[in-house]
A = this chain, B = another copy of it.
Amino acid sequence: MKAEVITIGDEILIGQIVNTNAAWMGEQLSLAGIDVVRMTTLGDASQSIKQGLHDAFKRADLVITTGGLGPTHDDITKEVVASFFGKGLVPHQPTMAQIESYFTRRKRAVPEASRMMAIVPEGFDVLTNSVGTAPGLWYEDNVTGKTRRMVVLPGVPREMKALMTEAVLPRLQQLPGRQTILHLTLLTAGIGESMLAAKIGDLSSWLTDDLHLAYLPSSHGVRIRLSGQGVNADAIQMRLDAFEAHLRTRIGAYIYGEGRNTLEAVLGALLIQQGLTVATAESCTGGLIAHRLTNVSGSSAYLHGSIVAYANDIKVSQLGVEPEAIRLHGAVSEVVVAQMARGVRKRLQSDIGLATSGVMGPTGGTAEKPVGTVWVAYADAKGVETRLVRLVKDRLINKELASTAALGLLRTQVLSRF
């Protein structure tokens, strides 16, 4: 099935908002085996939207719009879609009742603008919005000789995603003649795309038109996505399982999770399971490791705290780093980062200390220690492990990559030592 995604809103055209909706929808539709052939962004103008729908249905069987369903005068998607299909607008009683009940509970009169949210094109199916007020819409006809499917969704990302996940994707998956598509995403850290390819590239001889492997790199690690398609779900699952087993034999140590998990969430579960606490001593990451760890709800169970030791004085006074070590080896050195990890562990009375020290750029690089040189260290009661990583030229990307390297080291050490 060929699909097009149409995003509606002047704020996208003038660059006020980045169109993350289209990317998310593109990914979800592709994962469902639907071929997204074009994405379009249109302004809040009736003629432009109508022309966009007309163009899209020339190429696609399925057109999904997002945006323009709100209560203000800019929000004209519903009217234009109704008119495009030659339909009138009628009140949808269940939605109206839901809106009235919302305001009645709050002892307020229903604003006219909110009533408008319950007006829908005649003959359209209404998809219940579980996290907001604007319902989604589904319509199909074949008056032009081919089946046209139209889905209308709100532009608020949370509402669009809830409607896609709860209503649209399940319905698309049930359409007759659809192949089953299964995916498996393995999350890795501590290894780059080219090193991964060197370790598993020869497995690509297993790949076929209906078994596909993709490397998805980011500053939080490389995701490996395996997709299989066919008519028999069990047969696909068996092929994916077999491939996964080979991948885990080759690169299992680098795989920290599956699907939409994050390294910090996986680490959190691991630390809770092992009953371990951690503290970080951050120089070059400047607090980013602690920020990532505390993005996980419940992280107070294992993160005691952190010391961001940006100045050398603080490394000495707060972490017990020897001034002599800094003088002899520099702050960006194996000796100093190991002392930082040991020091923060002791100082914040944690089972584990994790430390970083590096040259993030754009200035401060030398021939011996160019921008991108980072030492990370892990310390526990039994000893210290250090790693040298060589990153890139960009300060902000270096901070992300260095935090991922440190969290990756934390994970592999906990797994091998406890």
User: What's the Cα separation between A37 and B51 when bound, in Å?
Assistant: 12
Chain-B contact segment, one of A85-93, A136-144, A281-289: A281-289
Q: A19-B18, A27-B15, A38-B48 are in contact. Are A307 and B307 (CB under 8 A)?
A: yes
In the complex, chain B residues whose CB is within 8 Å of the CB of A307: 305-308, 318
Find residues 11-46 in chain A having any chain B CB closer than 8 Å to their own CB.
Answer: 12-20, 22-28, 30, 36-43
The main secondary structure of chain A at its interface with chain B is mixed
User: What's the Cα separation between A285 and B307 when bound, in Å?
Assistant: 14
Chain-B contact segment, one of A109-117, A253-261, A296-304, A378-386: A296-304
- Give the Cβ gap from A416 to chain B, nearest Cβ, in Å: 26
Q: Quick check: is A399 within 8 A (CB to CB) of the other chain?
A: yes
In the complex, chain B residues whose CB is within 8 Å of the CB of A18: 18-20, 23
The residue from B23, B288, B309, B318 contacting A15, defined by CB atoms under 8 A apart: B23
Q: Smallest CB-CB separation from A284: which chain B residue?
A: B294
Q: Smallest CB-CB separation from A309: which chain B residue?
A: B305
- Give the Cβ gap from A316 to chain B, nearest Cβ, in Å: 11
User: What's the Cα separation between A395 and B297 when bound, in Å?
Assistant: 8
Asked if A295 contacts B304 (CB within 8 A), the reply is: no
User: What's the Cα separation between A30 and B396 when bound, in Å?
Assistant: 28
In the complex, chain B residues whose CB is within 8 Å of the CB of A348: 314, 318
The residue from B28, B285, B313 contacting A349, defined by CB atoms under 8 A apart: B313
In the complex, chain B residues whose CB is within 8 Å of the CB of A42: 38
Q: Smallest CB-CB separation from A39: which chain B residue?
A: B41
The residue from B14, B55, B311 contacting A27, defined by CB atoms under 8 A apart: B14
Most chain B beta-carbon neighbours within 10 Å: one of A304, A308, A395: A308
Q: Quick check: is A310 within 8 A (CB to CB) of the other chain?
A: yes
Asked if A14 contacts B36 (CB within 8 A), the reply is: yes
- Give the Cβ gap from A348 to chain B, nearest Cβ, in Å: 6
Asked if B25 contacts A15 (CB within 8 A), the reply is: yes
Q: Quick check: is A361 within 8 A (CB to CB) of the other chain?
A: yes
Asked if A15 contacts B19 (CB within 8 A), the reply is: no
User: What's the Cα separation between A280 and B314 when bound, in Å?
Assistant: 13
User: What's the Cα separation between A19 and B15 when bound, in Å?
Assistant: 11
- Give the Cβ gap from A403 to chain B, nearest Cβ, in Å: 9
In the complex, chain B residues whose CB is within 8 Å of the CB of A309: 305
Asked if A13 contacts B26 (CB within 8 A), the reply is: yes
Q: Quick check: is A363 within 8 A (CB to CB) of the other chain?
A: yes
Asked if A37 contacts B30 (CB within 8 A), the reply is: no
Q: Quick check: is A170 within 8 A (CB to CB) of the other chain?
A: no
Q: Smallest CB-CB separation from A348: which chain B residue?
A: B314
User: What's the Cα separation between A13 and B362 when bound, in Å?
Assistant: 34
The residue from B28, B36, B304, B318 contacting A314, defined by CB atoms under 8 A apart: B304
Asked if A216 contacts B318 (CB within 8 A), the reply is: no
Q: Quick check: is A293 within 8 A (CB to CB) of the other chain?
A: yes
Most chain B beta-carbon neighbours within 10 Å: one of A288, A309, A310: A310
User: What's the Cα separation between A75 and B48 when bound, in Å?
Assistant: 30
Asked if A300 contacts B311 (CB within 8 A), the reply is: yes
User: What's the Cα separation between A309 and B307 when bound, in Å?
Assistant: 9
User: What's the Cα separation between A19 and B36 when bound, in Å?
Assistant: 15
In the complex, chain B residues whose CB is within 8 Å of the CB of A267: none
User: What's the Cα separation between A209 and B39 when bound, in Å?
Assistant: 31
Asked if B300 contacts A291 (CB within 8 A), the reply is: no
User: What's the Cα separation between A293 and B287 when bound, in Å?
Assistant: 9
In the complex, chain B residues whose CB is within 8 Å of the CB of A289: 287
Interface residues, chain A, CB within 8 Å of chain B? 12-20, 22-28, 30, 36-43, 48, 52, 55, 214, 216, 280, 282, 285-291, 293-295, 297-300, 303-311, 313-314, 317-318, 347-349, 361-363, 395-396, 399
Q: Would you give 5 A-B contacts (Cβ < 8 Å), ordered by A?
A: A13-B39, A18-B23, A287-B294, A303-B311, A308-B308
Q: Which 3 pairs, one residue from A and one from B, show the smallest C-beta to C-beta distance?
A: A286-B294, A15-B27, A287-B290
New A-B contacts (9) at CB < 8 Å, excluding given A40-B41, A297-B363, A300-B310:
A13-B36, A38-B41, A38-B48, A282-B290, A291-B399, A298-B363, A303-B310, A303-B311, A305-B311
